[in-house]
Chain A
Amino acid sequence: DAGVIQSPRHEVTEMGQEVTLRCKPISGHNSLFWYRQTMMRGLELLIYFNNNVPIDDSGMPEDRFSAKMPNASFSTLKIQPSEPRDSAVYFCASSLGSLAKNIQYFGAGTRLSVL
C-alpha cells in the first residue's frame, strides 16, 4: 500500500498567487481530512470529507480557502489569493470507517511558504 500521497512536497509562492495542494488517499478509505500545522496553532483540522462529501468545514480559515473531492481517490485544497500567514505544513489524512472510531493515516505533508 502506497499510503496517503500528497503533492507537491514543497511549495514556494508569492503573496497573491493561487496555490493548489493535492492528495490521494489510501485506496478504499472513505474519509479524508485536511490539516494545517504551525508552531503557533499546532495541528488544526480544516475540513473533513466522508464518501466525497464535505461534512465539516468549520475549520476552513476564510473564503480564500476551498477544498474539493471530485472522487474517492483525489482531493484538492486551494488557497486563492495566498498570503504570508498561510505559510504552514498542510497534511492530508485518510481513514476507513466512522469518525468515532477511525485511525487517521497521514501523508508526508506539503510545506507551503508564501513570500
Chain B
Amino acid sequence: GQQVMQIPQYQHVQEGEDFTTYCNSSTTLSNIQWYKQRPGGHPVFLIQLVKSGEVKKQKRLTFQFGEAKKNSSLHITATQTTDVGTYFCAGHSYGQNFVFGPGTRLSVLP
C-alpha cells in the first residue's frame, strides 16, 4: 500500500536558522497537504499542492511539490519560537485515502 515518509524525524534549530522537512511517497500523488500540530494541540491545515513542480509561499514558509509528484518539502526561513511543533505531510494517491507521514518535530531554541 501507499507509504509516506518524512525526514528528519526531529530537528533542533537555533532561532533565526532555517529549517527544511522532506516528504516522500512510495506512489505518485494526486495532491499533497501539509499540517502543523503544536505541542498538545491538533493538526491544523497549512496548504495543499496539486500541480507538478508547484511552489507556494506563506510568509516565511515555502512549500514545493516535486516534478514527479512523489515528494514534497517545507522550508521555513529564519525560524521563530512560534514555529515549534510537528509538521505532517499527507499524501493522496488516486483511489486511495489520504496517508499522513510520521511528521517532523521541530524545536526552536531561543
Q: Does A77 contact B (CB under 8 A)?
A: no
Q: Does B88 contact A (CB under 8 A)?
A: yes
Among A43, A93, A107, A108, chain B packs the most CB atoms within 10 A around the CB of A43
Once the chains are docked, how many angstroms separate the CA of A35 from the CA of B88? Answer: 14
Asked whether, in the complex, the Cβ of A103 is within 8 Å of the Cβ of B48, the reply is yes
Asked whether, in the complex, the Cβ of A48 is within 8 Å of the Cβ of B42, the reply is no
Using Cβ atoms and an 8 Å threshold, which residues of chain B touch A93?
Answer: 43
Q: Which of A43, A48, A100, A101 makes the CB contact (< 8 A) with B100? A: A43
Asked whether, in the complex, the Cβ of B98 is within 8 Å of the Cβ of A43, the reply is no
Asked whether, in the complex, the Cβ of A45 is within 8 Å of the Cβ of B97, the reply is yes
Which of chain A's residues has its CB closest to B4's CB?
A: A42
Once the chains are docked, how many angstroms separate the CA of A55 from the CA of B75? Answer: 35
Nearest chain B CB to A48 CB, angstrom units: 6
Using Cβ atoms and an 8 Å threshold, which residues of chain A touch B45?
Answer: 103-105
Asked whether, in the complex, the Cβ of A91 is within 8 Å of the Cβ of B43, the reply is yes
Using Cβ atoms and an 8 Å threshold, which residues of chain B touch A115?
Answer: none
Using Cβ atoms and an 8 Å threshold, which residues of chain B touch A104?
Answer: 33, 35, 43, 45, 90, 98
Q: Does B30 contact A (CB under 8 A)?
A: yes
Asked whether, in the complex, the Cβ of A43 is within 8 Å of the Cβ of B88, the reply is yes
Q: Which of B31, B90, B99 makes the CB contact (< 8 A) with A101? A: B31
Known contacts A42-B103, A43-B88, A43-B103; is A99 also within 8 Å of B98 by CB? yes
Q: Residues of A with Cβ closer than 8 Å to B? A: 42-43, 45, 48, 56, 91, 93, 99-101, 103-109
26 residue pairs A–B, Cβ–Cβ below 8 Å? A42-B101, A42-B103, A43-B88, A43-B100, A43-B103, A45-B98, A45-B99, A48-B97, A56-B97, A91-B43, A93-B43, A99-B97, A99-B98, A100-B92, A100-B94, A101-B31, A101-B48, A103-B33, A104-B33, A104-B43, A104-B90, A106-B42, A106-B44, A107-B42, A108-B41, A109-B42
